[in-house]
A and B are shown apart, each in its own frame.
Chain A
Amino acid sequence: MKNLGYVVLVIILVLLLGKACIRRDIPETTAQTGTEQEEQLTLNIYPANRKNVTIDGVDYLQTDLHVGKFGGTLINSTIGEGPKTFNPFNSKDATSSTFADIMYDGLVTIDAVSGQYIPKLAKSFEVKGNDYIVHLRHGLKWSDGKPITADDVYFTWKNIILDGYGNTSTRDSISVDGKLPTVTKIDDYTVKFTTPKPFAPFLASLSTAIAPKHIFEPAVKKGKEFFDTFLSTNINPKDLVTSGPFKMVEYVPAQRAVYKRNPDYYVINSKGEKLPYLDKIIYLIVGDANNEVLKFEGGELDVIGVKGSDVPRFKERQTRGEFALVNLGPDTGTMYLSMNLNDRENEEGKPYVNPIKGKWFRDVNFRKAVDLVIDRENMVYNIANGFAKPLFTPESLNSIFLNGELKGYPRDVEKAKELLRTSGFTWDKKGRLRDKEGNRVEFDLLTNAGNAEREAIGVMVKQDLEDLGMKVNFKPIEFNSLVNKLLSTYDWDMVVMGLTGSPLEPNGGKNVWLSNGALHMYNMRKPAEAGVNLLPWEKELDYLFEKGATALTFKERKKFYDRYQEIIYNEKPMIYLYSPIRITAIRNKFKNVYPTSLGGVIHNIEEIYVDSEDENGHN
């Protein structure tokens, strides 16, 4: 009798599991809800016009956006263990950068709508060939009351960035053929930068924070080692001297950081009142994503990024009118599949890739066949719950450099088979794919274990490729071993990976595309092998990236970057799969919220205010 009970229980469990599986395998239903939901989540266009006005010798930026009420708090969150440093020049992780961005303004910033660079601490800037002349706003003050002048800008660039203090990624990104730009102070409010040769990506680097010279100079004098520990999170946040819209007043490790509004910020509303409206911003430091969702549901958070799989749950609660879900469009993250085109040998004279397999991977027809047989739609619906877009280009879908000519296409097994046939591949009686020499097509597909999304993609890729008679051994391996294989030992066949890029600056991806780049994973060359066995299109990519960086107007640059995307689209060294769509939830009590794909939800944080009538009982 007792045993019977167990048997019944097990059967029920198995059935339930089976039912869950069945549901997942029907893409149609999920597909419908996906698109349906997407349509309901639309963006309002950011209507503000901003212009410079000078009142009593101070250069303000006036916004004509709806005049709001002062006061209130916005509670945001970051996942992880919180910032590692309050020194904006030392931050190597996303949280530290987020915290630094609130506190320190750069000379320019990105227009959240157009993606072009617009002045911030700078009142205006001019680009004349290799020269970038920046005019600062008059009358701006650091949070300790000292004026912000050209000395601060000159010091930041000369003594911190160009001298290689802290995190040198800015310095790395602006060096042209090993040469760095120079900076000169023209007068108290004018600074000139000169690049060694025309170099368009330089403008982006002007968004780097500017440091108060009187605080940072003593630290710089103590050397690089001291600078690495300068302004660590152990300090009292009240000692920070900052320029941003909010100033940190409290930092509780592993719990939160509290920011208070800067009463001397340079943005004013149409009535001439100084913004920001909000009194405080709080960043909760939350250890994991599930807890973050609970905190939002419990009313402890005001803004949250929503995962595709959580959207239905949020939609259900949205009807109560407490918050709105916002669709920010495709993310900058891209998922891709790549094959190892390496045809060289390691120090021991052994080829990195098995020559038989290498021959397949270097055959463009083979790569195209793989690309054609991959069912991107299915991935979008089954892995991202419909909250993603199929991707066919290396630039992400919200990139301002996206080549719109390169259209997507559906899965086509017949065409893929046709391509393989042209290259001499045949199928045996059991439907197994064999190459010209009769070798069975079988290879390993790697990804990093523990990343559920990539593991799911791997399984789907394996299934799709089996339709062509290929045998794919899917092996998720530990992240570090994978990185080691990709970047040091080069002994891999096919890999599922993701990279994040900038939607504004394709030059950031040069390490991936240049033939001697440090992340040129699909055909890595040791430094000694630079320029060896260049494929014709690799050569062209090298040329395009050099030209793209040195051309100055957007139109000219776009020509080069369009061509680079076309090459990748045609040659398929990396097969792009999809871009996730970013969904954010924000409470309705916040007004003047105009999310954009490039800027996110609170890009205009100084203009956002709380309408207390909409509080809904939330404190």
Chain B
Amino acid sequence: MDIIKYILKRILQTIPLLFIVSIVSFALIRLSPVDPLAELRLNPSISQETLERERARLGLDKNIAVQYGLWAKSFIKGDLGITSNGESVAQKLKERIPNTLLLTSIVIFLTWLVGVPLGILAAVKWKSPLDRILTVLTSIGMAIPSFFFAVLLLIFAVKTGWFPIGGLTSSNFLEMTLGQKILDISKHLILPVTVLFTVSLAGLQRQMRANLLDVMDSDYVKFARAKGISEFKVIFKHALRNAVNPMITLLGFEFAGLLSGAALTEYVFQYPGLGRLILEAVMKSDINLVMASLMMGAIMLILGNLIADLLLIFTDPRIRTGGIK
């Protein structure tokens, strides 16, 4: 019961937060000097009348507060509005979200699958050659800018011809059998996944290693060792349980990055995800689309934190007993 109350409280807390985020984003977009009609105005064949009509259609003739009010009203009703070209925003996002989710969830799954064990290994074998090698490797991973790495891999794909050059599916995708389709998508995914994996693995591995090292140094671990419990039990039963808490908070942030974390890599690989869509929307000041994506980002971040906090309740008895009340 307490947990439900806690969740409700947290959700209520997000409302003013979303309100502030939306006002700030809306003002930023609208007050920036980007004129959504600039290109149209420079087109010799467009008449003044058409420009006025377009201005009215996009609501640009109204006061910015009124514009915000109109947007907020339809947002609360669950209507994300239409893009400046008359397409449904919700539909546009729906087209792209699965693609981005596919990419980011594979990356998160892989990084956690590899990063956490490597972190534990490095902490356990602290200062051994293995630890040092891992440190060097992760340093490299952290140092490579993802954009540059992506470009390099793309050139690699062109030179060798082993991988397709960007995109998600081949042009003859429609005629493939199911097996070929899966193979085709996997082939397209390898390079972007490699980039994102290399970059985020480093951070995760180091975090895990540092956490575990912290804990290994604490008194109760020393005590457990002194009791003569096997090293395996010390690490997995005592140390790891305490070292895992910061990781859960981290997982919350990763959740927030599910939809927005891969934008740069998506752009280089011409991956049909949200990144490209939103970049174009920002350039053209397509207000409804930009607002929808910003709100989505904010909600994902809040949701991610909420999930992390709930998970912590289950893993950390201190929060379970003390925190909620």
Q: Which A residues contact B (CB, under 8 angstroms)?
A: 73, 75, 80-81, 84-85, 90, 92, 167-169, 172-173, 228-229, 232-234, 249-250, 252-256, 258, 282, 284, 286-288, 291, 294-295, 297-300, 478-481, 483-484, 487, 499, 501, 508-512, 518-519
Contact = CB atoms under 8 A, between A and B. Distances in A.
B171 A483 contact: no
Given A85-B86, A253-B95, A287-B267, A483 B280 contact: no
A84 B267 CA distance: 19
Given A81-B280, A172-B49, A254-B272, 20 more contacts: A81-B277, A85-B85, A169-B45, A229-B82, A232-B87, A252-B169, A252-B272, A253-B272, A254-B96, A256-B171, A288-B270, A294-B157, A295-B165, A298-B165, A299-B161, A300-B164, A480-B38, A483-B41, A487-B42, A519-B44
B169 to A, nearest CB: 6
B50 A169 contact: yes
B168 A255 contact: yes
A84 B86 CA distance: 8
B35 A480 contact: yes
Interface in B76-122: 82-83, 85-88, 91-92, 95-96
B35 A85 contact: no
26 contacts: A90-B85, A92-B40, A168-B49, A169-B43, A173-B45, A229-B82, A229-B87, A232-B86, A232-B88, A233-B87, A252-B169, A253-B96, A254-B276, A255-B167, A258-B174, A284-B171, A287-B267, A287-B270, A291-B166, A295-B165, A480-B38, A481-B33, A487-B41, A499-B44, A508-B45, A518-B48
Nearest to B36: A480
A501 B87 contact: no
B230 interface: no
Contacts of A233: 87
Contacts of A234: 87-88, 91-92, 95
Most chain B CB within a 10 A radius of its CB, from A81, A167, A509, A512:
A81
B155 interface: yes
Contacts of A297: 158
A213 B169 CA distance: 36
Interface in B133-175: 154-155, 157-158, 161, 164-169, 171, 173-174
Interface in B12-32: none
B161 A501 contact: no
Contacts of A479: 38
B178 interface: no
Contacts, number: 136
B280 A501 contact: no
A525 to B, nearest CB: 13
Contacts of B233: none
B47 interface: yes
A361 to B, nearest CB: 21
A288 B264 CA distance: 13
A286 B44 CA distance: 27
A295 B166 contact: yes
A298 B270 contact: no
Contacts of A294: 154-155, 157-158, 165-166
B95 to A, nearest CB: 5
Contacts of B43: 169
Nearest to B83: A84
B277 to A, nearest CB: 7
B277 A250 contact: no
B157 A298 contact: yes
A254 B278 CA distance: 12
Contacts of B57: 228
B34 interface: yes
B158 A298 contact: yes
A234 B94 CA distance: 10
B44 A501 contact: yes
B171 A282 contact: yes
B4 interface: no
A286 B49 contact: no
Given A81-B276, A169-B50, A291 B165 contact: yes
A223 to B, nearest CB: 13
Contacts of A286: 166, 270
Most chain B CB within a 10 A radius of its CB, from A73, A92, A282, A286:
A92
A254 B44 contact: no
Contact of A168 (B34, B47, B96): B47
B125 interface: no
Contacts of A300: 164-165, 171
Given A250-B174, A480-B33, A90 B86 contact: yes
B87 A85 contact: yes
A483 B166 CA distance: 35
Nearest to A167: B50
Nearest to A87: B86
Contacts of B82: 229
Contacts of A167: 50
A81 B85 CA distance: 12
Nearest to B33: A480
Interface string B244-276: 000000000000000000000001101011001
Contact of B35 (A73, A84, A250, A483): A483
A398 B241 CA distance: 75
Contacts of A84: 83, 85-87
B46 interface: yes
A171 B5 CA distance: 61
Contacts of A255: 167-169, 272
B53 interface: yes
B54 to A, nearest CB: 9
Nearest to A292: B270
Contacts of B270: 254, 286-288, 291
A258 B171 contact: yes
B171 A75 contact: yes
Contacts of B53: 168
Contacts of A511: 44-45
A298 B164 CA distance: 8
A519 B42 contact: yes
A253 B174 CA distance: 14
A258 B49 CA distance: 36
B52 to A, nearest CB: 11
